[in-house]
Chains A and B, each alone.
Chain A
């Protein structure tokens, strides 16, 4: 789909901060607020803007620590049951945070979030591995998140190191 410059500019702003007000977008792009609303609605309807997730670092909150695992899944698609059907069986589980079809040595990349390692291990052995057509799973526990969706976690580059006033 081809987008107009205005639409691309709106996406650029939302990509940086989805909390920005329509009024601010309108002023930044010299548009009316109504026009901004209409275009955002359109982009949402076309699923170009899919959602506005908030990136939360749960591990900073006592009692809310989470463990993340990325699991490589190999499957053998059967006649009449393509990757999409198998993928659906997997992504229906609320524990699954993301699911991608991959090229290379395995087929599906599954991200799972849980409170403990046992919880994740149980999910893999009881639910994932038992799905028909799933041939093998390899579980990688995530040890530390440095960057997520383009955002550096705990980066220190946001700090303004400039003098307050300069020529």
Chain B
């Protein structure tokens, strides 16, 4: 007898949209010699001193559970770090949780605050997981679309327009994946007034905080009156080049943290112990290396933004992260057609913008977490691809005549 598994599966789970990135990955992974601007993680390897401390922890036999919220010593370092870098004060004992990546911090935040039917505003284009995480927690993701006209910055008016009595929180991500857009203090302050007026919470995804180039990074929790309303999400993946370690952290008012710790102890217990030991070293002794990587990304950003604009793929200069989000509308193709053609014809992988929400249609995400040499080759290939598209178009016009 054949089993109809569909009837067993959760409707919520089945209803989740498959990630647009996954589809593209499956295609790119079958090809050789691809130059990839499609990678959402640093091309640097974790600094050696951090790796060494994790190795030492293993040698010493640090293989038992830690406290649910993580090693107190690490939480202490996180507390120092948040205060020193962003001027926000969190108590290590009861306001910080070490999680399995920022991904899990986001999951915990939503599980802790969402009742069935609560609405969470998601500013798009957005990181692919957001809407799914809200849905899985029983909430309803409400999409707020931004546009290239103002560099994909969300305005208080756009937010206010979609707020209903069911709105519980806004998910902010600055610097943003996929647009690289950074919101400065004034822009965050303007959003804060809407948050206060409508009595909302903000889940602030600050995973790219270390990778900010033109102006100083501002944490949403540092905006006046927002500390009490902010669930701050950050981690080691991007700035410290530690994606595979799966370590992130949450900081929030104590009452929220209490509930999140409760959930965490049932779902996960704690983050891997020996890796937490490495993370202590990351916060203590790696600022020089982090700065060096930041400088490197900054130079690549300048290079790639100019190259793309020269090729005719218009893009704004993003203030942070390691992504640029150029318009491909000139090509007359959809984002997916453009990206597929580019991969097939020139073996350059980028991510179609619509993978990050409908407002990403007409754009592609190019990651510059790649060496300058690689970026240079990729830019030459993209230029060649654009020329070939123009030629086909001309030929088609001729035939039509």
Q: Which residues of chain A have a CB within 8 Å of any CB of chain B?
A: 9, 12-13, 17, 20, 24, 27-30, 157, 160, 162-167
Q: Determine the chain B residues whose CB is within 8 A of the CB of A157 once the complex forms.
A: 45
Residues of B within 8 A of A30 (CB): 302, 306
Pairs A–B under 8 Å by Cβ, sample size 23 = A13-B299, A17-B372, A20-B372, A27-B302, A27-B303, A27-B306, A28-B299, A28-B300, A28-B302, A160-B43, A162-B36, A162-B39, A162-B41, A164-B25, A164-B29, A164-B38, A165-B25, A166-B21, A166-B38, A166-B39, A166-B40, A166-B41, A167-B21
| Bound complex: CA A28 to CA B21 (Å) | 29
Residues of B within 8 A of A163 (CB): 25, 29, 39
Cβ-based interface call for B307 (8 A):
yes
Given contacts A24-B372, A24-B376, contact A167 B349 (CB under 8 A): no
B residues with CB within 8 A of A: 19, 21, 24-25, 28-29, 34, 36, 38-41, 43, 45, 127-129, 177, 295, 299-300, 302-303, 306-307, 349, 351, 372-373, 376
**A-side contacts of B127, CB under 8 Å:** 167
Known: A28-B299, A28-B303; 13 extra A-B contacts, CB below 8 A, are A13-B299, A24-B303, A27-B302, A27-B307, A160-B43, A162-B36, A162-B43, A164-B38, A165-B25, A165-B28, A166-B21, A166-B38, A166-B39
Residues of A within 8 A of B376 (CB): 24
Q: Are B28 and A164 in contact (CB under 8 A)?
A: yes
Chain A: which residue is nearest B37 at the CB level? A165
In whole angstroms, how far apart are the Cα atoms of A17 and B299 in the complex?
14
User: Which of A9, A157, A162 is packed against the most chain B CB atoms within 10 Å?
Assistant: A162
Within the complex, what minimum Cβ distance (angstroms) separates A4 from chain B? 15
Tell me the smallest distance from the CB of A76 to a CB of chain B, in Å: 42
B372 x A165 contact (CB < 8 A) = no
Q: Report the separation of the CA atoms of residues A13 and B376 in the bound assembly, to the nearest whole angstrom.
A: 15
- The answer to whether A165 and B24 touch (CB under 8 A), given A20-B372, A160-B43, is yes
Contacts A12-B295, A24-B372, A27-B307 given; indicate if A166 touches B302 (C-beta within 8 A): no
Contact across chains for B303 and A167 when beta carbons are under 8 A apart: no
**What are the residues of chain A within 8 A of B177 when measuring CB–CB?**
167
Q: How far is the CB of A12 from chain B (nearest CB, A)?
A: 7
B302 with A165: CB separation less than 8 A: no
Question: Would B21 and A165 count as touching, CB distance under 8 A?
Answer: yes
Shortest C-beta distance, A144 to chain B (Å), equals 20
Q: Which of B24, B34, B41, B299 is close to A29, meaning CB atoms less than 8 Å apart?
A: B299
Distance, CA A160 to CA B42, complexed state (A): 10
Question: Which residues of B have CB within 8 Å of A13?
Answer: 299
Q: Which residue of A lies closest to B24 (CB)?
A: A165
Contact A167 B302 (CB under 8 A): no
Residues of A within 8 A of B372 (CB): 17, 20, 24, 28
Measured between beta carbons, the chain B residues less than 8 angstroms from A27 are 302-303, 306-307
Chain B hits for A24, CB < 8 A: 303, 372, 376
Complex Cα gap A29–B21 (Å): 32
Instruction: Determine the residue in chain A with the shortest Cβ distance to B301.
Output: A28
Partner of A167, one of B19, B36, B45, B306: B19
Contacts of A17 in B (CB 8 A): 372-373
- Given A29-B299, A29-B302, A157-B45, also A164-B307 (CB < 8 A): no
List of A residues within 8 angstroms of B306 by Cβ: 27, 30
Closest Cβ of chain A: how far from B185's Cβ, in Å?
A: 24
Which 3 A-B pairs give the minimum distances between C-beta atoms? A165-B38, A28-B299, A165-B25
